[in-house]
Amino acid sequence: MGEYPDSRDPDARHVVTLRLGEIFHNSGHTSQKVKETARTIRTGIEKISPFIQQATRTVCPKCEDVCCISKHGYYNFEDLVYLHALGLKAPQHESGREDSDPCPFLSEKGCCMDRTVRPSGCNWYFCDPLLDHMEAMPGYQEFDDALREVAELWMEMMEEFAKISMPEPV
């Protein structure tokens, strides 16, 4: 599909969303591998979420420089592929926000979105204080291994998506 336009542009995002819908609709059973991989990713995220939640519950309330800002809350192309493979739509993000504005999904109790559907810029960003805290927690190695596995599955999902979205050479 070429270079994905800035997801901050609602019109461009709409066009990409429509195109992804067409690709998944027209691919039929050939998109099964992408969908299965997306479901496995979701399960992997669910598995690591409690570890992250435990860490953020301790570190984030003390933070003086909140990193849950608007620039991390935009969906990139891969995020949209993932959501489409799960049969989901990305929630609308307010356009015209400054990158440094608080994320619109940030509430007093943290993110109001389920971790499995957050944009990757949000989900995989760990500030230094949070990362330091997580590395000292029991179970960090298991978390790190599971996170690595999810990242590898993410790349596999995109490789499989490329197969269904790009025409075969003649």
Taking a C-beta distance cutoff of 8 angstroms, is the pair 169, 89 a contact?
no
CA–CA separation, 52 and 120 (whole Å): 14
Q: Say which residue the tokens 């291994």 belong to.
A: 145
Question: Residue 169: what pLDDT?
Answer: 56
Put simply, whether the predicted model's pTM sits higher than 0.85 gets the answer yes
Whether 82 contacts 39, CB under 8 Å = no
Q: How far apart are CA 99 and CA 77, in angstroms?
A: 18
* pLDDT of amino acid 109: 80
Q: Which run of H or E residues covers position 107?
A: strand 106-107
| Phi, psi dihedrals of residue 69, rounded to the nearest 5° | -115, 165
Identify which of 5, 10, 2 has the alpha carbon closest to the alpha carbon of residue 97: 10
pLDDT by residue for the chain (170 residues), tens only, comes to: 445 555 677 788 888 889 999 999 888 888 999 999 999 999 999 999 999 999 999 998 888 888 888 888 888 899 999 999 999 988 876 777 888 888 888 888 888 899 999 998 888 889 999 999 999 999 999 999 999 999 999 999 999 999 998 765 54
Q: How far apart are the first and last CA of the chain?
A: 18
Q: Kindly report, residue by residue over 62-74, the tens digit of the pLDDT.
A: 888 888 888 888 8
